Structure 1
Amino acid sequence: MMKYLLTFGLMITLLSAQAQAPQALYPGEIPNYIAGPNVESSATTGGILRISNVSNPVYTLYLAPESGNAKKPMVIIFPGGGYRILAASHEGSDIARKLNEIGVHAMVVHYRLPDSTRQVEKQYAPMQDAQQAIRVARQQANVWNVDSTKIGVMGFSAGGHLAASAATHHSIDYTKMNDGQNLRPDFQLLIYPVVSFRAYSHQGSVSSLLGKNKSEELLHLFSNEEQVNANTPRAFLVHASDDGAVSVANSLNYAAALANNKVLVDLHIMAKGGHGFGLVNKTTDEYWFDRLATWFKTL
């Protein structure tokens, strides 16, 4: 019994050490911000934590247990939710803790949800927050024992669109800080992602981000398969072929664009699973995270 209690106590200590208190994403003024009351709210239904009305972005740091002096990769995680809410547990904190288990640091970002009453140009707010998260990770790399050459982004569903946007738009500093910081992620991990804003996209995400302003210019800008070039970071993608919410065409066409530009890409298509399964696709014994753990060894 004593051995069990000691082991249990050690587990609690490790878990509590992994997740630090949420921190403001911007140390000062938030770009593209309209001041107002903080009406952020959260609710848990069906075991899923959903956060809405995010106007003050924060990040939560999950550091993997120390193992010698070797620096570790870091993954910046963007939960999904159609740019309307954040599925903050099964596409955020749960993923971060799983990454910690394989020796990878993680940062979960509660990015701003597009809202024309809280942002001057709502379509750019999530992108600004994604770039700021990369900036913070690079600035704190030595403090957090992070390998600054292995800082990547990860996103689920609409969070996948944000991660792909960060991976394909890094040459422009949307925060307008223009401090010379390297905003290019070293890799991208996209799980059942929205990638395109074209016909096969998730129209809810398109409407939430762009509103009625669906000009050809913006549709092209946010169709990330159209933004790929030879400098786009390598990718790991997972999608179910029967996804009825976000068509598998998003991943297929993005993978093709990457391959055509000679960018390394691993694409994993599951026969079933639908959308939003997080870590566990209940239709199969195959565990996609095991493939990801193996993939990390190739970095």
Structure 2
Amino acid sequence: MKYLLTIGLMMTLISAQAQSPQALYPGEIPNYIAGPNTESATITGGILRISNVTDPVYKVYLAPENQQAKKPLVIIFPGGGYRILAASHEGSDIARKLNEIGVHAMVVHYRLPDSTRQVEKQFAPLQDAQQAIRVARQSAKLWNVDSTKIGVMGFSAGGHLAASAATHYQTDYTKINDGQNLRPDFQLLIYPVVTFRSYSHSGSVNSLLGKNKTEEFLHLFSNEEQVNPMTPRAFIVHAADDGAVPVANALNYASALVTNKVPVDLHIMAKGGHGFGLTNKTTEEYWFDRLATWFKTF
């Protein structure tokens, strides 16, 4: 009995610690120019918006314990056009919902591209995404995570970041080069920016690349052009009437996955526009229910 109480206390302490924001890098941040932390947060229309993120952090949401069974973990990247982070309805709200179906979650407040705070601003978000995967794999045992089911999830521009992590894992952009496996086991993309070609979201392209819109970078960050047979399986949701990020982003990415024989579940809703988070008010269909079912397939 004493042993069980000790274990229970330990897990309570771990959960309490994990619920506090933690620095994404234990030491020096790569591609970083020192300066004051001017991060700020506002709530508009019930949505928490965080801007000027230069010091990346993460917050872990552990699902309730179930007899020692290891659980999947989803690393969440909120959207915001690479200008802000929609941190509640595309971050913490999603994490809590995943916990309800027995899935651990990790919300990452990744660096927003800033030419005054990063040497190469176009790589800062991807570096942070890869570091988040590294932290998740290193912490898998502590958090009771199934190390074969660590995936990425992103909304809008956060979807671009998740897709980037899923297609650029062979290169360690953090340059830590410790041999850690940076390939996510799955990708969950909700109304994602995928391409930097003509049907992309121009705001995301401008924020990430600025004046560096060379063919090299347009190709590198057009993730449908980076898919190969080893790209992780995908679950994608998009609305056909999305006026901000055309549905072609999801369709063409799914096509590239199919061409490479990568399993993909694609859900296109007739209406809903952009940025609806968990609830598309134009339909009684609840896309998260489909995701909950999808988790039972692997």
Distance 2:44 2:260 in 1: 42
TM-score by length of 1: 0.94
Name the SS of the counterpart of 2:96 in structure 1: helix
User: Could you list the runs of 4 or more consecutive aligned residues of structure 1 that deviate by over 6 angstroms after TM superposition?
Assistant: none
Name the SS of the counterpart of 1:177 in structure 2: coil
Distance 2:106 2:214 in 1: 33
Distance 2:37 2:152 in 1: 27
- 1:198 is matched with 197
Distance 2:202 2:159 in 1: 15
Name the SS of the counterpart of 1:97 in structure 2: helix
1:1-299 correspondence to structure 2 within 5 Å: 20-299=19-298
> Do the aligned residues in 2 keep the contact of 1:167 with 1:233 (CA within 8 Å)?
yes
Name the SS of the counterpart of 1:183 in structure 2: coil
Measured against aligned partners, the alpha-carbon deviations of 1:82-106 in whole angstroms (never above 9, x if no partner) come to: 0000000000000000000000000
Q: Could you tell me which amino acid in structure 1 is paired with residue 296 of structure 2? A: K
Measured against aligned partners, the alpha-carbon deviations of 1:105-126 in whole angstroms (never above 9, x if no partner) come to: 0000000000000000000000
TM-score by length of 2: 0.95
Measured against aligned partners, the alpha-carbon deviations of 1:153-204 in whole angstroms (never above 9, x if no partner) come to: 0000000000000000000000000000000000000000000000000000
Name the SS of the counterpart of 1:297 in structure 2: helix
Q: CA deviation at 1:17?
A: 5.3
Q: Could you tell me which amino acid in structure 1 is paired with residue 164 of structure 2? A: S
Distance 1:17 1:265 in 2: 36
Distance 2:72 2:209 in 1: 33
Measured against aligned partners, the alpha-carbon deviations of 1:239-291 in whole angstroms (never above 9, x if no partner) come to: 00000000000000000000000000000000000000000000000000000
Residue segments in structure 1 that go unaligned for 5+ positions in a row: 1-12
Q: Could you tell me which amino acid in structure 2 is paired with residue 277 of structure 1? A: F
- 1:5 is matched with none
**Alignment root-mean-square deviation, CA:** 1.1
Q: CA deviation at 1:69?
A: 1.2
> Do the aligned residues in 2 keep the contact of 1:76 with 1:133 (CA within 8 Å)?
yes
Distance 2:92 2:194 in 1: 23
Distance 1:164 1:121 in 2: 20
- Number of aligned residue pairs: 285
Distance 2:56 2:77 in 1: 12
Name the SS of the counterpart of 2:297 in structure 1: coil
Distance 1:216 1:71 in 2: 43
Distance 1:159 1:228 in 2: 18
Q: CA deviation at 1:140?
A: 0.4
Q: CA deviation at 1:59?
A: 0.1
Residue segments in structure 2 that go unaligned for 5+ positions in a row: 1-11
